[in-house]
Amino acid sequence: MSRRYVILGNGIAGQTAAEDLRKLDAGKWFAADFAGQRIPTLDEVLAWARGRTYLAIEIKNGPVFYEQIEAKLVELLARHRMRERALIISFDHRALGRLRALDPGLLTGVVYTCRPADPVALARGAGARVLEPHWGLVTPEGVAAAHAAGLKVNAWATSERRVLRRLLRAGVDGVTTDHPDVLVELLAEAG
């Protein structure tokens, strides 16, 4: 399916008032059926998710850094009793370290698009228990090394069947995809 993206607003989200962000239409770019959908706050998402599902929450830091984002996230997760049902991921590995200092029990994952010399050390340096590599960096040997170190591996950003099959054969623990239905189908095929 070809998607046409429509600019819904201008500026940096962190420098825009929440009430202004809530005026934007977050659905019409996808399809007419979704026109009028508003951007939910993380507070609203956590309230909806509690008791229903697990969440992966990405801290989007850099090049704009959001002061106290880690403390705010810890407070929201605690308030909604979602700290055991959330995986916090980020390209900002220092933010993950600060988050774990605030709440050592949180599950965190380092996101990356490079081939680190030592992915296990990368995770350990951030206090993370999950590696979140781009799918193109996943190898069976890398997954085995992560598992031997007690880490999980979640590959991200693919929906291609051949790639998903390769990731499953490599032994990943999770996959981020725009088409979970395809992944479910492949998991059922694998038995």
pLDDT tens-place values along the chain, 191 residues long: 344 444 456 777 777 888 888 888 888 888 899 999 999 999 999 999 999 999 999 999 888 888 899 999 999 999 999 999 999 999 999 999 999 999 999 999 999 999 999 999 999 999 999 999 999 999 999 999 999 999 999 999 888 999 999 999 999 999 999 899 999 999 999 87
SS3 content of the chain, % helix, strand, coil (to 5): 45, 15, 40
pTM of the model: 0.88
Q: What is the DSSP letter of 134?
A: B
The CATH code for residues 41-190 is 3.20.20.190
User: Distance between CA 124 and CA 116 in Å, rounded?
Assistant: 13
Each domain of the chain, given as residue ranges in start order, spans: 1-39, 41-190
- Token pair of 65, please? 């850094």
